[in-house]
Amino acid sequence: MPTTTLAEISDKTKISKFFLDAIENGEFSKLPGGIFDRSFIRQYAEAAGLDAEPILERYQQFHERREQMAAPAAPRQSRPASALRTLFAWATSGS
């Protein structure tokens, strides 16, 4: 089976070599996001003669971890502005 280069896959799929290289190295955070990620991964695998499903599963695991890490923390309770002014006034009054 002949080896297919990234340049050949890029020509065939019209996906930039930058994104293909990111997929090949598991650097999914370099991909553009959204539906493009899964599409690029599937096209790359198929053009290289690979089964896309295991690669897409690995991407899904990465994506889920990334979402968990990006989940916002519980919002902090903020003090009303008047309470902050009172606290600041007390702290700077020297009393």
Residues 4-46 pLDDT 10s: 899 999 999 999 999 999 988 888 889 998 899 999 999 999 9
Confidence (pTM): 0.65
Asked if residue 20 lies in contact with residue 44, where contact means CB atoms within 8 angstroms, the answer is yes
- C-alpha to C-alpha distance for 1 and 41, rounded to whole angstroms: 21
Phi, psi of 23 (to 5 degrees): -65, -45
Asked whether 24 and 41 are in contact (CB, 8 A), the reply is no
